[in-house]
Structure 1
């Protein structure tokens, strides 16, 4: 019993001495900063997505997105790129947006393909800054022929 007690005391003492000599390292306090988070957004979108709902096939539709400059310097839109040829963005290409002012981007969609759609449009501004907006909806197939004549309607007229 003395041997067990002695071994236990030695083990506890060794552990205590080792713990005092090698303290656990304090967690490093690393300040992680995201430069984009620190810089306020200059291009502000009034809305980032527009849903056209159900639109008939073959009927092009458009929507106007409003953007504003919340910065202290002029903002220049470098490019507005659609994801495919069925979506066409239009904007004033050579006109910078003054601080506090607004501008418009008109996005058109050629509703030729039947079914639901979601199309991203990428705005590149102030050199390399990027924002995305989306248009979506569903194109329903239009009938290929007119409705058949309703004979009971002519009975009602008599």
Structure 2
């Protein structure tokens, strides 16, 4: 009787886990090729830029509603049209090191209708004097 109860419980838990995973997979999902870029040493006043490539690995169109940087020295641009499932898009981020010194980590937040509604990418650099 105990074994039967254990087997039934295991089946019920496995089914619940499978259903939860299936529900989590529905909707748009952002998958980045890389979520950070380290430029190493740059000189004060240099402007650097990176393109973050993403794929919608979900099963519904991805809509990026906003992309916001942590400071005015970092400027993002992003696609305004929906990204279809399986398709790719690019978020371009530029960093101006004027007035900055030392280690910099500029974080950019991506707001969307994805299953994870806020994603982050970052630009890292070490700003040296001119």
Q: TM-score, normalised by structure 1?
A: 0.63
Which structure has more strand as a fraction of its residues?
2
Q: Per-residue CA shift, 1:79-125, capped at 9, x if unaligned?
A: 111011111111122x1001111000011101111111011111111
Q: Is 1:39 aligned to 2:15, yes or no?
A: no
Which structure has the larger Rg?
1
**Equivalent residue of 1:73, what SS?**
coil
Q: Is 1:132 aligned to 2:120, yes or no?
A: yes
Unaligned runs of 5+ in 2: 1-9
| 4+ residue runs over 6 A deviation | none
Q: Is 1:57 aligned to 2:44, yes or no?
A: yes
> How many residues are treated as equivalent by the alignment?
111
After TM superposition, the structure 1 = structure 2 runs for residues 97-136 of structure 1, keeping only pairs within 5 Å, are 97-112=83-98, 113-126=100-113, 129-136=117-124
Q: Which structure is higher in RCO with an 8 Å CA cutoff and minimum separation 6? A: 2
Pairwise CA RMSD: 2.3
